[in-house]
Structure formats: C-alpha cells, structure tokens
Chains A and B, each alone.
Chain A
Amino acid sequence: MTNLSEIQPIGAEAEAKDEILRVENLNIHFPVMEGVVFKKQIATVKAVDGISFSLKRGETLGVVGESGCGKSTTGLALVHMLPISSGRILFEGQDVTTYDRAQVKKFRRRVQMVYQDPYGSLNPRMRVRDIIGEPLEVHGLDKDKEAYRTRIEELLKMVGLLPDMADRYAHEFSGGQRQRIGIARALALEPSLIVCDEPVSALDVSIQAQVINIFMELQKRLGLTYVFIAHDLAVVRHISDRIAVMYLGRIVEIASRDDLFKKPLHPYTQALMAAVPIADVDAERNNKHTVIRGEIPSPLKIPAGCRFHRRCPVAMEKCKTIDPGFTDQGSGHIVACHLHPLSPDSEVTLRANS
C-alpha cells in the first residue's frame, strides 16, 4: 500500500528531522449496529477513510471541511482519544497507535487539545486554578506548591488573563475568557503539538480576533505546532502555513496556504472558496457564489469513484467509477482529482485506499 507521504519531493529526508507528526493512511470506521439482544453490524460509517499528511515543527496545519467530513474525528485520533481502524500516527518518529496506557500518559505531555465549546469543556464545579492545574496534578508536577502556584499565574498571564482570576469559577467568565482558560490548560504541560478543534467558532467576531491573536503570539513565543481544525476558511487562512481540505473522510487537496488560495485545484476547494461571503460589498456583488448544488452525502453511503462527483460541476465519466489518486502538482501541492493527472516528474501512481 502506498500513501501520500511517499510522493514527497527529493530532499524530504533532510526535512524529516524537523518533522513532528506524520499520519499514514489513517482509517477510522465506526460500525452501525442493529438489534437489542443479537447485535449485528449492518453498515460502516467511514468517518476517516485513508488520510495521510505530515507536519513540521512550528508549523500550523489548517484542516477545513464541512460538517461530516471527518475533521474532528481526525483531531481526536491525533491526541489518542479515539481508537483507529488502521494506519499509523507517528509523533516524533514513534507510532503512537501502539502505545499502552503508560506511554499514552507520557504522550499527553507532548500533545494537547483545545476544544470548541468553551462552556462544555470546563468543569463548572472547579476553580480556574484547579482546571488549569489539573494536568500538572495528573502528571505529578504539583509537588512543589510554590512552583505550582507560580506556574498557574504564569499560564494565566500568558493567555491575557489576570492572576487574581484563578479563584473564580468558569461561569464567571465570558466565552472568550473561557476559551483562554482552555488554552492555558492545554499549555500547562508545555506540549509541542496542540490540536485545536474549532477553537473560535463559538465566539463573537470581535472576540474571535482576540483569541486568534493569542494563538499566533503563543506559537511565536513557544514554538508550538498546531493542527487547527475549523470550518471558517478565512480564519484558517489567517492562521495556517499549510491547509488540508477534507471532504467525506478524505483529504482532497493539501497545499501551502498561499498556493491553495492563489491556485485552488480541486473543484470542491474552488466551490468552498466561492461560497464564503466576504465582508466587502464590491467584492461580493461581482461574485457568483453557488458553484455547487446539493449537500455532503452521508458517510454511510459514500459514492463510488470520486466521492465528490455527484456535486462536481465538471465531473467526467471516469469520475463516477474511478477514485482519483493523489498527484503532486509541484512544491507539495497535492490534489486528488482526475482533472489534475500525474505531473511528468512524479513516478508513483497512488491510490489512497487499497
């Protein structure tokens, strides 16, 4: 089985050193069961269906897609919170999918998560001090009480909150402040990779900007690597170095931020970009927005061939039967579409799935 990582251009080995994360042909399938006493599996939801990518230290990978495309499932798998069906997740060269409990606990010091819902992800019965300090406690880093207290104050300051807020409860904070608490908690163990699942989509626009700026500032200061999952293309564009576009469990296009926005190759990426309304009257009124019809199909019934073909405005006959492989269109701009066959310098034919 070949995968995406094998079509990296020459020189990939030299780069491999600053590679922090590599995902190889990741599959996450959920069984659909029927029956009360005698359960039998009647179908499979292919939430994530063969995705591969790699991530350099200090880089931000944006993952965009519509609901049901598998972006959050991927995020959960990256922090080892979901069992995967097959594939490998290599963090700093080690396959984390084979880790036992003790190893996972250690791994969590390196990889943390920030959640979407600033209301649901903080325990209402705990003081902010304990919420932020809990990861330290779990990992036995609270023995030196003085250092523990200073660390919590430091974390609060890092995300722009005041140290004397430590004794309050989550409900005393606004949505934006709560999201800051969530970020402080993720930072407590000094992780190198943070997976952020829609971290700003529950926030008001003027607050969103504050939180995005905090993310970017912290990355600069602490050298963090982010996987930034969001549905808002504008936010993802602002924060990411590279962007992966997902559709129905697959990455359909992955490229550097500027390549993707200057030259989107996959018809779905193009449609997604056209559909985003821009806060500018003149740009908007000259635009045609409805490029594609219909909605994302159910992951229970993934269409044969290219999974986008039923909504694709330029679908060809072969799109209905043949699943397009990934091709590198130069400088790591990778796309899965029959419109963009292999470039001459690439030799491997690829199928994401066996």
Chain B
Amino acid sequence: MPDTLPSVDDAVALGLTREEYALIVDKLGRAPNEVELAVFSLLWSEHCSYKHSRPLLRTLPTEGERVVMGPGENAGAVDLGDGWAVAFKVESHNHPSAVEPFQGAATGVGGILRDIFAIGARPIAVLDSLRFGEPTSPRSRYLLDRAVAGIGHYGNSIGVPTVGGEVYFEGPYEHNCLVNAMALGLARSEDMVRSAAAGVGNALVLFGASTGRDGIGGASVLASAELGEGDADKRPTVQVGDPFAEKKVLECSLELLERGLLVSLQDLGAAGLTSSSAEMASKGGVGVDLDVARVPLREAGMAPFEIMISESQERMLCVVAPGSVDEVVTVCERWEVHGTAIGSVTDTGRLRVLHGERVVGDMPVAALVDECPVYELDPRRPATPLYPVPTPTPLFAGEEEPSVREILLALVAAPNITSRLPLFEQYDWLVQSRTVRRPGEADAAVLLMPTGAAIAVSIDGSGRRVAADPYTGTVEAVLECAANLACVGAAPLGLTNCLNFANPEKAHVAWQLTESVRGLGDTCRALGVPVVGGNVSLYNEGAEGPIYPTPVVGMVGELPDPARAGRAGFAREGDLIALVGAFAPTLGASELAKLRGEALPAELPEADVVAAQRTHAAVRDAVRAGVLTSAHDVAEGGVLVAVAESCLAGGMGAALERRPLAALATALTPRRSKRERGGRLPEPLAAALFGEAPGTAFVVSGDREALDRLEARTHLVELGRVGGDALAVGEDLAITLAVLREAHSALGPLFP
C-alpha cells in the first residue's frame, strides 16, 4: 500500500462529494486507501449506483406473465413459448462517443452485446438510437460519420445484424451527442444464467482479453460528469474495442454455458473488475477475494487500483465449481482467449483485493453496492424556456409563406425525415438469416424465431417533444414504438429504455426526469407492457446547456406468422389509401415548426392512450389477417410525409383527394379562428397536412374489405388511391416520385 493515504481532495477529484467521502470513512471505520477509494468512487458514481434515479425507476411496472428476467440482471428477457426466450436491453455510450466517436460507438455495441450473452443468450440483433447536432455543423457530421462507422465495425465484424435504429439532428446535441445501442438475444429459457455469485469456495475465473490501462475511470470521469473544455484530454478514458476478441469471448461463453460449467456469469463493463465482482457478490449475498496479481495484463507495471478499475473490453467474470476450473480453462484455450482463476467466493461479505499475498483493499460489499447514498431529486418546472429557438431554414426565412409543395419537399428532405438508407447500407442487416423485414422496408424490424413465429423490434424517442412536454412526449415515444410494432402485425411483449438526461442535480432537469418516468410508467401500465430493463445516462450537458431530455424506448413484440409481416410501402395499383385512428395533429414541436424556426410550445396536447391502443389493435389484427397491403405510422412531418414515405418505400404513386384533408383541417379549426399567419396556407390546413400526434394514426393501403374491417373498430378516413408515378392531391399538387426520391436522399452527401 502507498505510505500516504489519499485525501478528501483526491476523493473529490474522483467525483465523490466531501459528504460521501466522510460516509466511506464511517463505513470502513478508517480512511480508505488508494485501491478502496478508487473502488468506492466508481461504485458510488451515478453510472453504477443510479443514486439520482433509483427511486424513480422503482415506480416502473416490471412484472408480466411473459417476463423471464426483469431489471437487475444484465438484460431483461421475455418468454416466446416452446422453451425459447428473447433477451434485450438498451444502453448508452454517449460521453465516450462525444470524445472519440468511432471507438465510443463501437464499444457501446460491444458492451451491450456482452450484456446479452452474459445471461446465456446468443446475440441476434442490434439497433441504435443516435442524436447529433445539425448536419450543417462540421463537428456533427464528423461525429455521425465516425459513430456510424464504429457501430458497423463492431456489429458487422462480430456477425450480429444491425436491423434498425433511428437518428435525429437537433442543436442541443451539438456538444453532447447521444449513442444508444440496443441488442437482442435468443436463449433456451432453462439455459439462461444469472449473475449472483454463489457457493463459498467456488472459483472466480476471468476470461477474455487481457487488461490494460484503457478506459480507466470511464464510469466516473466520463459518464457521470458534464462535458466541457479539454474533453480531448479524456481520450485515454475511452476504451478501444476489438470485435474479433469479443466474437471469441462470445462463442467461448456460450460453449461454457452449454457444457453447464458456470454457476454465474457477468460481463465487465463500466468500472471493470470492480463493479462486476462487487455486484456478483452483492447479488449472491457473499464475499469475494480477488488476486489482481493473477490478472493477465497488457502492459507491465500496472498498479492494483488500475487493474481493478480498468475498462479494457471483451472480458467476462464467472463463478465456477473448483472441480470445473480446468475444463473452463481448456475451453478458453480452444477459443484462444485467456482464462484465469483470479479469486474465490467467500462467506465474509467483503470484497478483498489481494496482490499476491498482500491485502491491498478490504471493503464491505454491502457498503459498496447497496449503501451508496440515494439522493432525493428536487424537481421544479422551469419558469422560462430552457432551449434556444431554432433558426428557420432558408425556405421559411423569407417574407412569403412557401407552398404546400415546397413544404412537403422540404420536410421529405429534412435531416430528421430523409431516408436513412445511407446509414443502413453500412450495417450488415442480414447475417444469421433471421431478418424478415429489413431496415426501411417496414416500421419495425422483423426477425424469424425458431418457434416458427417472429418477433418485431423498434426503437424510438423524440427529444424535441419531450423537451416541450416531458410527460406527454414520453407517452408519445412509447405509443409510437407500439404503433411501429402494430404496422408489422406485432403485439408488444416488453420494453427497455435508456433515459438520456442532463444534470439531475438541477431542479429543471429533475423535473424533466420525474415527469418523463411518470409518462413512461403510466403508458406501460395502460398498454400492459412490462419494463424488463434499462439504463440511465445523466449529466448530458455542455457549457452551452442541456441536451433535449431524451428517453429512448426499445420495444419487442411478437407476431404469429412471419409470412404476413406488414410492409410500409404501397404495392398494388388501385388500392385504397386510408388514414386510420383518432388523429388530432398539432404543429407545436413538429418538424414543420422546427423548419419554420418556432419556439417549443409550453406543453403538448394530452395523448389519448386508450384510443391509440384500440387503433393499434385494429391495425395489428388487419396486418395479421393479411388483408392490408401496407401500414405505416404517421410520425414526423404528418400525414402527407407518411403518404410520401409509403410511395417511396413501394415505388408507387398516390392520388389523394382534397376533401378528406380539407375536412380534417376543418375539424382542427378552433371555433373562433385567429389567423396567426397570413399567406397561402391557413394554420388548420397546415396542421392537417403536416401536424403531428405520434403513435395515434396510420396510413394504410388495401382493398375495400380491409378498410371496412378497420372502420368497424376505429376511426378511418379514406384519402385516395395508390397508383401512378406521382404523389398528387386533387388537381392542386403533383410531385413525381423521382422528385420525391431526390429530396429523400439528402443524407447521402454526408457519407461521401
């Protein structure tokens, strides 16, 4: 041990408060040494302890008939029948990606994949949810380009398809991008493994890559503090990913489990050996002795605390009966990964860190994991707007109101709406031969299951709408995810979430977080969808202010017949096109409002969850019955954009009638209409054509019988017919598919 103990100032430098340091001294009965302080600082960081969010997360519904594994394990899982389960989880890697986007995004994928195979599931899919500043900013383009390359590098190389995702561009993410990755895995229910250490005298075996100085302090220094000046200096805290190493660790883990050699398994993520060992011990109610001198190192001369907190990637920790250690090591050798017994399970309830014979740290596990102080939030609604008003795009900067044609083309070309194909083409979306609906083909990805049925998965979240109204914005995110599933004929099974927020110690952020979690919980309860796991990423703000609060929701559902999975594109000339659902769109916080350069509204109109659920069920059943040719939810940009997207996805035009759209506008006209804008496009008509009410309505196509079937169960308005090579509205508007397609390819130039 070093001669001098670290001081309280050292503790503060590691991210602890003075009060927390005093509490640690109290728990230990003495001042912590270097190793102990490092361990406490990581486990008591927000990233590991959820000390600002834990009470809120407890309010979420987590139980359901189909839940096999809930929050608290490496990933959640739901039952698929026939003994199969699907595991899934979403996690953030925001701060590493803001500092070094390629490795940050790559290791984000690597980390979430390890969470999946740590419970014994084979990873079968990745989705990602990305947020950057406006693409007019060179830094945002750089972050986008490198993050996409990093996600592809890891997912493509390890043989897990990237089947979906979303990307949005908004000013408040300029200095703090978001990179969330979601992974799904497939397991036999009886083969799944938990992470609780058990069996006093059992061995702890560390396997996978060797341990180096990369990623030291990532959880506390990067993930639990605001970004600011000098972030480039933090590059050494970003881990470096090696998908080839992880592929070997993945296959090795699954073989060890298949052979029944493991008592429990845990991946090494944030805070490395520290959090994995302490959490395994805590869950099992046991103690752990670790000898850091036995850890295979990448470089010589690493201090014990460095070995304990290193975030070197592609490592796993398992508990093994003493008699099985040799066989475990043999399997590791076959896969050409290190496999080393580095400690044992004890009955002391303490985490003891040894370096050979010498004890270099000795801490009660309960103090590390369970007794971290939990902070009450002080939520207060902000009195003044938090976010700058966006700059209007050139089209809206002039005197004259643009035409419907100009607005539609501007929306179709808007960074948040334009085709994501240039991203998806950089990902392998087909490896493993399960992908029934590929990116862009439908509103949700559809994956074939060994049961003969299929699962669908979607990821969603609109920071701008949550910024306007944290409660309703979050309700909408859940509804939109469920709507996406309905479009392919899937019913929700479970949900995972990643709560990306700014500094919760600030009252207005605490309010956003509290309201958002309330919206999430209420909607999940209303829809009967359990939350099986998730992740919290706080302190997402830079000197310029906070990010838009961004709860990202990933939802998994099932559909019985993969051959009938829905598609988004029109596909049959002469089909009727209809708008389905009780649709009351507004322009506040819409994509059009952003293009116009309008401030966020003070709140959003309440979403009718019951009506939305009824509509989802009607659309889902029609898709399952195979009567609809296409189904697509009305999201950013409103009805006309949704129709345009279905035209482009199917390569077919549409002839809409004026009357139903005008009627919708009339319905949206306030009794005493006050015209805020002059010009060609009255506000109610703009709301009818381009307004948004996420998750509540769909554009579908099919024959008369299909529409009658839907109309019997939910609100339906016929809009027109599929056909021709243009999107036309009455005699007023006709835009050829070629023109639409060109507008919709606006992201291409970002990936030269």
**Is chain B found bound to chain A in the same assembly?**
no
